[in-house]
Amino acid sequence: MAKLLYKVVFHNHGKVYELYARRVTASAIWGFTEVGELVFDDCRVPASAILGGEPGKGFTQMMKGLETGRIQVASRALGVAQAALDEPRRQAGATTEPRRSILDNK
């Protein structure tokens, strides 16, 4: 039985691109769609478009990009953690009675 394929279409600088993927998931938390297991059946790539500029160099270039992605994910996680700390503090400092804060109820 053949695996299900998803057609992923996106626009970039006035051009339309089509990809086929075996896995597509949406993230409500981060606000993006993850596309996995791209399918490149019968795909021909011109020599000028080879990742890394020459055969055998693409994996190294790709892994450098993944490292950048990990830094971005860590940065987002840090921002979410900071917001999770700041918001309760802000709410706790808000006045619930005239001239009195929740923090004063120790």
Cβ of 52: how many Cβ atoms within 10 Å? Answer: 13
Which pTM does this prediction carry?
Answer: 0.36
Spatial distance between the Cα atoms of 86 and 74, rounded to a whole number of angstroms: 18
Domain boundaries, the chain: 1-40, 54-93
Residue 95: what pLDDT?
59
Residue 50: what pLDDT?
83
Spatial distance between the Cα atoms of 94 and 39, rounded to a whole number of angstroms: 53
Spatial distance between the Cα atoms of 81 and 76, rounded to a whole number of angstroms: 9
Spatial distance between the Cα atoms of 35 and 26, rounded to a whole number of angstroms: 9
Per-residue pLDDT of the chain (106 residues), as tens digits, is: 567 888 888 888 888 888 888 888 877 776 677 777 778 777 777 888 888 887 888 888 877 777 777 788 888 899 999 999 888 888 777 655 666 666 666 5
Residue 73: what pLDDT?
85
Residue 81: what pLDDT?
92
Residue 78: what pLDDT?
92
